[in-house]
Structure 1
Amino acid sequence: MEKVKDFFTNDIEVEANSSLTNQEGVVPVKSLSSEYDPLAERLTKEVDDDAYAQTHIPDDSPYPEVRAAVSSFDDPTIPQNTWRMWVLGMMMTTIGSAMNVLFSMHSPSFYITALVTSMLAWPIGRAWQKIMPNLKVFGIPLNPGAFNLKEHALITIMANVSFGSGQAYATAVILALNQHYGVDFGWGFDLVLIWSSQCIGFAYAGMMRKILVEPSNMIWPSNLVLSTFLTNIHVNDNHTANGWQISRLKFFLIIFLVSFFWYWFPGYIFKALSYFAWPTWIAPNNVVVNQVFGAYTGLGLIPLTFDWNQISSYIGSPLVPPISTIVTIFASMVIIFWIVTPALHYTNTWFGRYLPMSSSGSYDRFQKTYNVSRIINSDLSLNLEKYKEYSPLYLSTTFAVFYGMSFASFTSTIVHAVLFHGADVVATIREWKNMKPDVHSRLMKQYKNVPEWWYAIVFVIFFGMSVATIRAWNTEMPVWSLVVALCIAIIMLIPAGIIHAITNISVGLNVITEVIVGYMIPGKPIAMMLFKTYGYITNFQAIQFTSDMKLGNYMKISPRLLFTAQFTAAIWGSLVQIAVLKWAQGAYENVCSTTQVDKFTCPGARTFFNASIIWGVIGPQRQYSHGQTYYGTLFFFIIGAILPIINWLILKKWPNSYVKYLNWPVFFSGTNMIPPATPYNYGSYCVVGIFFGWFIKKKWFHWWSKYNYSLSAGLDIGLAWSSLLIFLTISLTKTAAISWWGNNITDETMDMTNTAIQEVLAAGDFFGPASW
């Protein structure tokens, strides 16, 4: 009984030493339920921000974005490890994991974010507080009092690690194997695959937390929105900001309601408000107009939209990243996609004039979708004779440019991290125990830390599972290639993690892992899928876990409790997803077929299957080697490596040069969702981001500090709940769209029908070389 009771403690270790005190010798501990706002004094003084930070708040974060969103005080007596937290956390993990894997199989796909369940948890937690009797289970009260910020933060983190970015990536691998390759290795394979691919990332994150979590410059901007949302609900402090007196909670609720009701217009009633490419309405059958101004397959030269989903769906809220990041993305979009891409396309480089300018599809030489079934044998190997009879694989101009940009982002991320952050990383490792922590890390010293060997044990266990995954079943993937994949993931974790933590931009390893395995293990599509999973998703999961560890740092969550919550949610959420996946495969007839009557066509698994054929069967050697169509994109590897060196040399000579604001990894990876996104999405994203991140912040800093992240949270959550309701009531029930001009006009353009092509072939004609 005592052991059970000990588990439900906060693991507090308050030490009487200077590491926990501020500069006046006072432990900065304050009740989160009080009305004191540590930002109130800062936000009501019309003074220079940097000067104020140095003279008035020396024990706060040096970054105004963090000071605007995160309290620098803590009350370690607030209960966090409660029955309420575990019940609600596991309930949200179960519901969210089940719904996301089911929604991922439907077309159109949809997924629930952790913000949606976090908002749902609040009224349930409050109801628990009011109606649950104050009984004890194993000596622990069922109702410990008010539903508090730390409980709510833990529930949000559990949701985020289990389904916050959609369904687990491994489910797409399993569906591709089961439904497209006709291979079913059974429950054992499915479970060890999903658990190992999720939890090795967890172990990596824990090993790197001293570098990616504790330093104050590792901001993790997306956490500022979560922190603001949670704080608004539980600590509704108020102060005047540029004449505005409304509290952040009321402001958030108003924005949430407006966002929720408004999205019904661009999302269902008046869809032209979403794809507001009005020049294409004037000339719906003009190829160039639709290519230049198109919002769906064009370049979106006038990025005007009234749909928050168009602005934020691909890259996230533009209110979150630093202004330098937004400006860099804008520069990338203008230079690469508004100047270079049209030049390549209209000069017929890569035979672009025969294809849509922007599309994520793959095409044959007859302008049709590439039919992979025409080039493979029954054992899934490449039939070279049929391949030579049929066609090479062709990509749209933006898709080909995307691969080049991905190559450059890989090398630029490594070089940038070494030159600009290498010394800091080395110093952190050398001075591991002597580093001066910021206020949030000092406050966290009140709680027992997680020993490094906990994460080491997790890695050993799940590495063993990953070996079992590839060897106990006939995957044709050698163990040495698994080691290579995991090495790529861990080597890239620090540089990719630093970029994400500072800029909120992800550097994905999906393309580079496809290229590497395509050359390393040619002709093995199943091995290709598993290599990509362990190389890319392990790194991606590590970054997600690390981000949530930073949120725990901001919310002052007990590290050992955070470890337990993250690990439990990852294991349980994965089990739920496999169970629902298996159920859906049996419950729906012809699941994943393009003719499935309920639209459970599995678009994600189909895309994954096609990628496995392209990279695992055809292979990059037939696409990117010397003499092949897209060979020129390989030079992006060199470009990506050289440009950060040039920046570094310039800044060594002129430290205050404007070059310091140009981040090449962001330049190359910031637009990595084009396609399927278009410059229309990114243009509107950048316009909104620059308006709030520069103009509003510069002119009305106090307003920005108080309301910016509340505005972002309100818009995101309102959109998410509205989208969910539309999906459940319209898409799943197959309700017909409202037929009128405002919905029909966009469907009548060449942009939306994917037919804006310069050179249209006659029946039987083809483009490209006669042999390959």
Structure 2
Amino acid sequence: MGKPSQAVTHTTVESSSVDDEVVDNEIQRSEPLDHTEQNSQLVKGAVIVRDGKDISEYVVSTQDDGDPACTFRSFIIGSGLTALAACINQIYYYKPVEVSFASVFLCLMAYVIGVAWSKLLPRREHVEKFFPSQAAWLGPVVHFINPGHFGLKEHAVASILSTSSGNGAAIVQVFGAERLFYNRETEAGTAILTIFSASIFGYGLVGLLRSIIVHPTEMVWWQCLPMISIYQTFHRDPKGANRDRLRMFGFTSIGMLIWEPIASYIWPWLNGISIPCLASMHAPSATRTVVKTIFGGISSNEGQGLFNFSLDWQYITSRYMSLPLLQQANSWVGILLSYIMCFSLYYGGAWGAKKFPFMSTAMFDATTGKVYNQTAIFGRTAILDPAALEKHGLPRLTATNVWANMAAMAAIGGLFTHIGLFYGPKIKQSLIRAWKNEQPDIHYKIMQQNYKDVPQWWYAIVLLVGFFFGLGAIYVGNTTLDPWAYVVAILLGCIIAPFSLCLYGLLGTSISTNNLSKMLCGVLQPGKPVANLYFSMFSHEVTVLSVFLATDLKMAQYLKIPWRTMFLLQTYGSLLGTALNYVIMDNIVTNRREILLDPIGNQVWSGQKIQSLNTNAVTWSLAKYVYGFDKDGYGWIPLSILFGAAVPVVHWLISRRFPTIRGHDTRKMVSPVIFHNASSTTAGTTSVIWSQVATGIISQWWLRLRHPAWFGKYNYIVGGGLDAGAKVMMFILTFSVFGGSGAEVPFPRWWGNPVSSSKQYADFCGTG
């Protein structure tokens, strides 16, 4: 094909390969780009980043510094930060808003400690200068402890090790739920063995699938990008081409470090600025109750948060600065659907909605409207007593919780058919390339040239070890799960994981498959809610772990960290993190038991996730009683999986007949993402949603399309800086004033910090 007569300058996030000339973070390519072949779009001389190919060429550097990765220093720093990772993961599991993993905070801590280590501890040259007679034996020892400059790969290894060790955060909640709702305690050794088995099984699964979910160019794993930007900015010419970006990181992180205590502690009203709430201050009580339902959202399970805006970055996060616009646009459709369904079901009185709270993931008694007494039904054996069930009646759910479960089931059904129909050809192509060892991704090729790959049998052994450890835990522990059901759970996880991993790699989001696991266990192990929890752990949670582990493997490919080093790090991190996650969970559940059992929660702590985990386990263990089609039955929940599976089929047929409608690509609708986000307003704090949407529009639409040069240079580093400042401060606040260590120190009450209960907080906002 013909080439343009003039070379084009492309703005990138980082300097390109060592063969390129780097000037002010721009790459003047030695060979002009063939825009006919690449189909690239230029705005103001810079390429608009649209897909994985653009990310590989213009965003992530191909440079391999060749510096050591796993050293004594990086290993010790990573191991030390493991404890922090476990703390942060457990803390944010019990927050009223689901937030992203705290990898930015760990990355920043690793950098500070690593640089201090390199500068403050003696080096080999110091030994040779001051102790020349001992230099022969002492020099290598000192060099082993402090090899000198703290490089990019050491930094990344320390951070990845700590994040790998924190991946068991969700798995340990099985044991938290046992303690909170069943007054049962599993022995610590058995619990840790169980968590470890699920962790390494997930890792073995990812390793076997890496040729289709990590190596290909189109598998971007978008949430890696802010971290990649931080690593490269800190270590690639920080005093030259990257000086401005490093300064930008410093300004944003310090600014957020100062702002976060104001937004989250001193003036928490800023987390839910609502003009309609204030305007209704003097309205009648009945009116204010309706207004709270529609516009309230600053406190957990208060309302839908319509037209609410938050200024608390710990909940907004940089996630929406890195996710592709395609994914975010589909999520906005889901949010709109969530508003419509929540209002319609509640005010329409579906399933006796007005007898119970508007929003909650807890179970309720049909007669009293209070929290359901499940202990009377299952007792300490965690096995159903039919006579007690007859006496106390069936548990009831809020209408919004019913819709959340329907949306989740629809998303699961849509996941399988959408991935199969729309991305099947890409996956098939990746499999063929893997079989022929012809992966064209430039980062993969560099890795292939420089480092030995991990043999498939290594991952197969890890997978088998995880399987047999889990089987042993089932036999030893009082899990109530039959061994044959454990095998079914593992097989289900192996089926689900490839679909979830593909969706996450392509679009930066995955679908919660928890309900599918619980539904199947409800059929196989009826009347056993604790068995249901364990079944879900070995199917759904294995998939969740796979996502975290695959993210780290993709980051290693971008940063050129040797594959075998990553294998050892992630295996070790999974082992170390299991015990720590269990210990931190035990501390939080013990100290915050009362608020975690509260069906509403408050601004700081919420048991919405663990309550939802338990609610699903109980209702699915009572499936034959609960999921019928009588007046109060929830039969639409399991049926939703078929509806969700049918939608992509219809969509695919339409897209083949009408590739575009009024200039819009019909293939860009992703129904599982829509359904997944159609429960966004059903629980927790909803005041942050509009700020997240605004962040995505500003970053991925306005900056990326209108100002691609600024976007390429600063977008991801700004997001990383804001995350770093917010996470560092929230870690400090959690253990100093928010009760993470057992003692809570509330800020003095004033109009910007009213009493932190839903009712009184809403009263202040004019919506009580």
Q: Shorter-chain TM-score: what band?
A: 0.7 to 0.9
Deviations 1:202-238 (A, max 9, x none): 0001001000001000000100011011112112469
Q: 1:659 and 1:465, CA in 2 relative to 1: closer, same or farther beyond 3 A? A: same
- Could you tell me whether the CA contact under 8 Å between 1:180 and 1:609 is conserved in 2? no
What amino acid does structure 2 have at the position aligned with 1:642?
A
Cross-structure match for 2:324: 322
What amino acid does structure 2 have at the position aligned with 1:359?
S
- Could you tell me whether the CA contact under 8 Å between 2:408 and 2:676 is conserved in 1? yes
Cross-structure match for 1:741: 751
TM alignment of 1:84-99, pairs within 5 A: 84-97=73-86
Shift of 1:304: 2.0
From 244, 264, 269, the equivalent of 1:267 is 264
Is 2:63 the partner of 1:63? no
2:420 and 2:668 map into 1 onto residues whose CA distance is 17
- Could you tell me whether the CA contact under 8 Å between 1:280 and 1:294 is conserved in 2? yes
From 682, 693, 704, the equivalent of 2:700 is 693
Cross-structure match for 1:663: 670
Q: Considering only aligned residues, what root-mean-square deviation do their CA atoms show, in Å?
A: 3.7
TM alignment of 1:533-572, pairs within 5 A: 533-572=537-576
Cross-structure match for 1:390: 392
Q: 1:463 and 1:634, CA in 2 relative to 1: closer, same or farther beyond 3 A? A: closer
- Could you tell me whether the CA contact under 8 Å between 1:409 and 1:668 is conserved in 2? yes
What amino acid does structure 2 have at the position aligned with 1:351?
G
Is 2:62 the partner of 1:72? yes
Is 2:27 the partner of 1:30? no
Shift of 1:275: 1.5
1:62 and 1:106 map into 2 onto residues whose CA distance is 33
Shift of 1:37: 7.0
- Could you tell me whether the CA contact under 8 Å between 2:184 and 2:380 is conserved in 1? no
Cross-structure match for 2:712: 705
2:35 and 2:675 map into 1 onto residues whose CA distance is 34
1:374 and 1:756 map into 2 onto residues whose CA distance is 40
2:313 and 2:99 map into 1 onto residues whose CA distance is 16
1:46 and 1:433 map into 2 onto residues whose CA distance is 28
Is 2:123 the partner of 1:134? yes
TM alignment of 1:439-588, pairs within 5 A: 439-445=442-448, 446-578=450-582, 584=587
Cross-structure match for 1:16: none
Cross-structure match for 2:307: 302
Cross-structure match for 2:214: 213
- Could you tell me whether the CA contact under 8 Å between 2:96 and 2:684 is conserved in 1? no
Q: 1:128 and 1:429, CA in 2 relative to 1: closer, same or farther beyond 3 A? A: same
1:179 and 1:247 map into 2 onto residues whose CA distance is 50
Cross-structure match for 1:362: 363
Q: 1:670 and 1:518, CA in 2 relative to 1: closer, same or farther beyond 3 A? A: same
Shift of 1:721: 1.3
Cross-structure match for 1:716: 723
Cross-structure match for 1:372: 374
Is 2:147 the partner of 1:144? yes
Q: 1:37 and 1:458, CA in 2 relative to 1: closer, same or farther beyond 3 A? A: farther
Among all aligned residue pairs of Structure 1 and Structure 2, give the percentage whose two residues are the same amino acid: 23
Cross-structure match for 2:225: 224
TM alignment of 1:322-341, pairs within 5 A: 322-334=324-336, 336-341=337-342
Deviations 1:59-102 (A, max 9, x none): x98533454541022233x1212211111111112443367558
- Could you tell me whether the CA contact under 8 Å between 1:362 and 1:394 is conserved in 2? yes
Q: 1:449 and 1:47, CA in 2 relative to 1: closer, same or farther beyond 3 A? A: closer
Is 2:111 the partner of 1:122? yes
Shift of 1:579: 5.5
Shift of 1:160: 1.2
1:423 and 1:69 map into 2 onto residues whose CA distance is 26
Partner SS for 1:376: helix
Could you tell me the TM-score, scaled by structure 1's length?
Answer: 0.83
Partner SS for 2:321: coil
Q: 1:506 and 1:52, CA in 2 relative to 1: closer, same or farther beyond 3 A? A: closer
Shift of 1:277: 2.2
- Could you tell me whether the CA contact under 8 Å between 2:224 and 2:555 is conserved in 1? yes
Shift of 1:698: 1.6
1:643 and 1:108 map into 2 onto residues whose CA distance is 29
Cross-structure match for 1:12: none
1:756 and 1:489 map into 2 onto residues whose CA distance is 47
Structure 1: gaps (5+ residues): 1-27, 759-772
Cross-structure match for 2:277: 280
Shift of 1:403: 0.3
Q: 1:137 and 1:752, CA in 2 relative to 1: closer, same or farther beyond 3 A? A: farther
1:393 and 1:756 map into 2 onto residues whose CA distance is 33
2:718 and 2:605 map into 1 onto residues whose CA distance is 36
Q: 1:672 and 1:226, CA in 2 relative to 1: closer, same or farther beyond 3 A? A: farther
1:119 and 1:140 map into 2 onto residues whose CA distance is 24
Q: 1:137 and 1:359, CA in 2 relative to 1: closer, same or farther beyond 3 A? A: farther
2:106 and 2:689 map into 1 onto residues whose CA distance is 27
From 425, 435, 439, the equivalent of 2:438 is 435
Could you tell me the TM-score, scaled by structure 2's length?
Answer: 0.84
Is 2:401 the partner of 1:420? no
Q: 1:156 and 1:184, CA in 2 relative to 1: closer, same or farther beyond 3 A? A: same
Partner SS for 1:146: coil
Is 2:640 the partner of 1:636? yes
1:107 and 1:52 map into 2 onto residues whose CA distance is 42
Shift of 1:604: 7.9
Deviations 1:133-178 (A, max 9, x none): 2355579633323111111111111111111x5x533432234445
Structure 2: gaps (5+ residues): 1-15, 125-138
1:756 and 1:474 map into 2 onto residues whose CA distance is 50
